[in-house]
Amino acid sequence: MRQHMRELIGFTAIFVALSLFLTSFVLAAGDDAAGQKLFESKCSQCHGKDAKGSTKMAKVLKVDPAAVDLTGEAASKLKAEEMELTVTNGKKKMPKFKGKLTAEQIQSVIKFVKSLQGASPSAK
C-alpha cells in the first residue's frame, strides 16, 4: 500500500512539473504571436514583414536600406533597452509610439524582433 502511494505521489509530481513546463511554452508562444501581430501592423510598412527592411520605403524616405533592416549587424547589436527608447521616442524619420503602444506592447515587439535576429531578448 505504501509503495503504491509513493508511486502515485511520484507520478503526480511529474505530471504537475510537466504541465508547468508546457504551460510556459504556450505562454511564450502567445507573447511571440502578439509581438508579431503588432510588428506587422505598426512596423512592417517600413521594416518589412521579415524585418529585413522595405527597399521601396527606404527609397520613399530617402534613407539607406540598411537603416530600416532590423536583422542587420548594427540593429542586432542594439540592446533591448536601446530599442525600447527608439520605439518609444522615435528616431530620425521613425515616428514615436509613445501613447500609441503600451510598454508591454513595445516589449512584445522587441522580443519578436530579437527572435528574428536569432537572439533571445534577454541576451542583448
pLDDT digits (tens, 9 = 90+) for 106-116: 999 999 999 99
**pTM: predicted TM-score of the whole model, two decimal places:** 0.68
What SS3 state is found at 4? Answer: helix
Look-up of cell digits 504571436 = 33
Q: Please check the confidence at residue 27 and state whether its pLDDT lies above 50.
A: no
Give residue-wise pLDDT tens across range 39-73.
Answer: 999 999 999 989 998 878 888 889 888 889 999 99
Q: Closest Cα to residue 98, out of 111, 108, 87, 109?
A: 87
Domains belonging to the chain, first-starting first, are: 31-123 (1.10.760.10)
Cα Rg for the chain, rounded, in angstroms? 20
Q: What is the mean pLDDT of residues 6-35?
A: 59
Tally of CB atoms within 10 A around 64: 10
Q: Who's near 63: CB < 8 A, 6+ residues apart?
A: 92, 93
